[in-house]
């Protein structure tokens, strides 16, 4: 069953052979996390995920959440799993033990989360958002706020959320209408309504802590006038004990396509004028603060999408090995030939190797961003820190946008491998497909991720952040050129990188011209080709390690062969199409923005 969540051999490969995570233990901050400890953490995470969390996935989907008289009941099976998860101190893995964390490198936390989220990401949204909300308290909270809230959030005694979206203020957060009126004691009376709040109300913990975006009376319009407030469901007394109800009322939950086990709530704050919040950070700087949580949340969403794809691949691979149907194509005219497992059929193999290549490339990308964060934390070299932060900045919209787009496609391919059985609820594929579909939408739609990549990241620091990416890719390309058997693949990746540089320069200039609408109509295709090139980089890097392995053990031979074949397939079968998509971006045809509304038809 564990293999149906994530491939442990591949997790180990990325951690130890690609990223060499144990080298972090040379630094005092991470001295405890040698290879033995890392392997133990991943094993414990795997066991917990398989034994306690995975069984809740189907149960949670079928039972869903129930709303009655302002109260929300979540799936019964979640309570036991959460209790064990909380007792294991898994919620704030990378954070300071003083506040209830484990102080581990983020890369290792991602490997553990690979299993947790893959087991049931609707369940994992409760602790995931709690960690993000706690991070806001840690970074922007006063000493009093930290003392009252932080440890209880990081240890899971209380959960947390994120209250941004309103009925008329979704992607355009600046249009929000929630207000905050300052009281004589320095607190604020909060009034407003928020929607699409994941985990906004539930019976999992006694208190829920809401970071809320609102506008202080008299503040400027738009995002410049937004402040961030800490609003608990129940007020917290100065001695840390839970006080009276804080007028945060759940008015309903959404009936969704997927992630049924997570309560998606509408909340009314201050309907009776009794909702009290405290300022988190500075006045009118709420959006800047909230971006801290949003960036973490976007990486979490990329992980959610990826783990759906990973689980889908594990299930599809296992099914293809066991499902017997049809003769081998080489024996199709031999009526006496026995039926064979469908993994022998070429089209099934095409789908499986496509899934394999993307899942492996996405795992490497997600873990790599974690490693960049860990190295930036440890580095005392300002130039190195700047380079690492540049890579994180550029890769974040790809890790959220591109990865979730591709993850949904991989779940769809996995369902296709199952055929008709994949479409029915007896098998796990249709739930994975439904659950995964939210990931390209929330925490900023993938169209917004693409606009961020083009409008902000491409020109940031005078173009230095994309140059940092190109330099990292070229380093891998040059190593691969010197590796027997990989020079041809390396040259094709180099061609794609060079062309991406041309595309980036073109679309960047177009975005600054009178053709700006044309440019942004191609923002998503630009993100797509950027992601394709990043995938080719990760797969080439993996292949280079596999080919260069010294005296590999017999049990590893097939795995290393698989790394080379993943790169070979992707670079020869997918990357040529990417070059064609780059030509489309270079053309920047204006049909999408020039067409009149009436010409779309439908009237």
**Residues taking part in catalysis:** 443
Structure tokens at 325: 């149907």
Structure tokens at 499: 């062309």
Sign of CA dihedral 484, 355, 121, 527: positive
Element (H, E) at 328: none
Rounded Cα distance between 212 and 233, Å, is 12
User: How far apart, in Å, are the Cα atoms of 344 and each of 54, 86, 341?
Assistant: 30, 44, 6
Q: What is the dihedral of CA 342, 414, 115, 121, to 10 degrees?
A: -150
**Measuring CA to CA, which residue among 325, 326, 320, 328 is closest to residue 352?**
320
Segment 586-592 long-range contacts (CB within 8 Å, at least 24 positions apart):
586/502, 586/503, 586/506, 588/506, 588/507, 588/510, 588/515, 588/518, 588/519, 588/521, 588/522, 589/518, 590/515, 590/517, 590/518, 590/521, 592/521
DSSP state, residue 245: E
CB 63 within 8 A of CB 70: no
Q: How many residues does the chain have?
A: 603
Structure tokens at 8: 């442990």
**Measuring CA to CA, which residue among 404, 395, 398 is closest to residue 373?**
395
Element (H, E) at 71: strand 71-73
In DSSP terms, 180 is beta-bridged to 190, 216
Sign of CA dihedral 167, 168, 174, 179: negative
CB 529 within 8 A of CB 582: yes
């Amino acid at each position: 069953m564990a293999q149906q969540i994530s491939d442990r051999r591949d997790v180990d490969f990325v951690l130890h052979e690609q990223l060499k995570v144990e080298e972090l233990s040379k630094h005092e901050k991470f001295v405890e996390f040698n290879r033995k400890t890392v392997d133990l953490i991943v094993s414990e995470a795997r066991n917990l995920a398989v034994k306690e969390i995975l069984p809740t996935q189907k149960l949670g989907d079928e039972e869903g959440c129930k709303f009655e008289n302002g109260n929300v009941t979540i799936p019964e099976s979640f309570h036991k799993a959460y209790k064990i998860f909380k007792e294991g101190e898994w919620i704030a893995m990378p954070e300071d033990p003083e506040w209830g964390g484990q102080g581990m490198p983020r890369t290792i936390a991602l490997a553990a989360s690979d299993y947790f989220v893959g087991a049931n990401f609707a369940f994992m949204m409760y602790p995931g958002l709690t960690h993000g909300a706690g991070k806001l308290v840690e970074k922007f909270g006063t000493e009093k706020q930290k003392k009252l809230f932080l440890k209880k959030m990081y240890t899971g005694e209380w959960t947390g959320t994120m209250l941004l979206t309103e009925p008329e203020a979704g992607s355009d957060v600046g249009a929000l209408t929630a207000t905050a009126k300052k009281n004589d004691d320095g607190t604020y009376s909060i009034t407003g309504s928020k929607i699409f709040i994941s985990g906004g109300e539930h019976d999992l913990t006694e208190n829920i802590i809401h970071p809320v975006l609102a506008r202080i009376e008299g503040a400027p319009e738009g995002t410049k006038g937004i402040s961030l407030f800490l609003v608990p469901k129940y007020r917290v007394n100065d001695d840390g004990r839970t006080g009276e109800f804080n007028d945060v009322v759940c008015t309903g939950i959404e009936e969704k396509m997927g992630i049924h086990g997570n309560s998606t709530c509408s909340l009314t704050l201050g309907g009776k004028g009794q909702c009290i919040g405290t300022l988190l950070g500075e006045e009118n700087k709420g959006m800047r603060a909230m971006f801290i949580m949003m960036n973490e949340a976007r990486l979490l969403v990329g992980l959610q999408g990826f783990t759906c794809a990973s689980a889908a691949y594990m299930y599809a691979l296992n099914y293809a090995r066991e499902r017997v149907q049809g003769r081998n194509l080489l024996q199709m005219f031999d009526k006496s030939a026995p039926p064979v497992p469908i993994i022998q059929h070429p089209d099934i193999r095409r789908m499986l190797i496509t899934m394999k290549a993307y899942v492996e490339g996405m795992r490497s990308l997600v873990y790599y961003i974690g490693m960049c964060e860990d190295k930036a934390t440890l580095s005392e070299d300002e130039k190195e820190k700047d380079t690492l932060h540049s890579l994180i900045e550029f890769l974040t919209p790809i890790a959220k946008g591109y990865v979730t787009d591709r993850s949904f496609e991989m779940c769809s391919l996995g369902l296709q491998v199952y055929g008709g059985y994949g479409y029915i609820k007896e098998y796990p594929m249709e739930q994975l497909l439904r659950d995964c579909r939210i990931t390209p939408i929330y925490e900023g739609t993938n169209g917004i991720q693409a606009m961020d990549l083009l409008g902000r990241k491409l020109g940031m620091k005078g173009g230095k952040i994309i140059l940092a990416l190109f330099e990292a890719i070229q380093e891998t390309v040059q190593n691969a050129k010197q590796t027997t058997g990989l020079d041809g693949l390396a040259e094709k990746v180099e061609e794609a990188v060079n062309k991406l540089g041309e595309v980036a320069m073109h679309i960047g200039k177009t975005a600054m011209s009178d053709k700006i609408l044309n440019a942004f109509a191609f923002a998503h295709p630009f993100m797509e080709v950027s992601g394709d090139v990043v995938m080719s980089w990760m797969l080439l890097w993996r292949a280079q390690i596999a080919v260069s392995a010294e005296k590999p053990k017999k049990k590893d031979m097939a795995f290393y062969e698989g790394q080379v074949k993943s790169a070979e397939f992707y670079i020869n079968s997918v990357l040529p199409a990417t070059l064609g998509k780059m030509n489309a971006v270079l053309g920047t045809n204006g049909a999408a923005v020039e067409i009149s509304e009436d010409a779309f038809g439908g009237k």
